[in-house]
Amino acid sequence: DTGVSQDPRHKITKRGQNVTFRCDPISEHNRLYWYRQTLGQGPEFLTYFQNEAQLEKSRLLSDRFSAERPKGSFSTLEIQRTEQGDSAMYLCASSLGTEDSVLTFGAGSRLTVL
Amino acid sequence: KQEVTQIPAALSVPEGENLVLNCSFTDSAIYNLQWFRQDPGKGLTSLLLIQSSQREQTSGRLNASLDKSSGRSTLYIAASQPGDSATYLCAVRRPSGSARQLTFGSGTQLTVLP
- Give the β-pairing of B72-77 and B86-93: unpaired
Nearest-CB residue to B46 (from A40, A43, A103): A103
pLDDT tens-digit profile of A39-76?
889 999 999 999 999 988 888 888 999 999 998 899 99
Q: Cβ contact (<8 Å) for B103 and A45?
A: yes
What pLDDT, on a 0 to 100 scale, did the predictor assign at position B100? 64
What pLDDT, on a 0 to 100 scale, did the predictor assign at position A68? 96
Nearest to B22 by CA among B67, B81, B84: B67
Cα of B40 to nearest chain A Cα, Å: 10
Distance CA A34, CA A54 (A): 11
What is the rounded average pLDDT of the residues A15-36?
Answer: 96
Nearest-CB residue to A107 (from B32, B42, B104): B42
A23 pLDDT band, cuts 50/70/90, is very high
B contact residues 39-58, partner A, Cβ 8 Å cutoff: 41-46, 49, 51
Cα of A101 to nearest chain B Cα, Å: 9
What pLDDT, on a 0 to 100 scale, did the predictor assign at position A92? 96
pLDDT tens-digit profile of B9-41?
999 999 999 999 999 999 998 989 999 999 988
Which three-class secondary structure state does DSSP give residue A58? coil
Q: Cβ contact (<8 Å) for B42 and A58?
A: no
What is the rounded average pLDDT of the residues B40-55?
Answer: 90
What pLDDT, on a 0 to 100 scale, did the predictor assign at position B90? 97
Taking the Cβ of residue A70 and every Cβ of chain B, the question of whether any pair is shorter than 8 Å is answered with: no
B67 pLDDT band, cuts 50/70/90, is very high
What pLDDT, on a 0 to 100 scale, did the predictor assign at position B97? 56
Distance CA A48, CA B38 (A): 21
B98 pLDDT band, cuts 50/70/90, is low
What pLDDT, on a 0 to 100 scale, did the predictor assign at position B88? 98
Where does residue B100 rank: exposed (0-12), middle (13-18), buried (19+ CB within 10 A)?
Answer: buried
Supply the mean pLDDT for chain B.
Answer: 92
Taking the Cβ of residue B83 and every Cβ of chain A, the question of whether any pair is shorter than 8 Å is answered with: no
For testing the chain A interface, which of B52, B53, B100, B104 should be mutated: the one with the most A CBs within 10 Å?
B100
Of all residues in chain B, the percent with pLDDT exceeding 70 is 96
Using an 8 Å CB-CB cutoff, list chain B residues near A108. 41-43
Cα of B51 to nearest chain A Cα, Å: 8
What pLDDT, on a 0 to 100 scale, did the predictor assign at position B95? 77
Q: Cβ contact (<8 Å) for B91 and A42?
A: yes
pLDDT tens-digit profile of A66-111?
999 998 899 999 999 999 999 999 999 999 887 777 889 999 999 9
Q: Cβ contact (<8 Å) for A58 and B100?
A: no
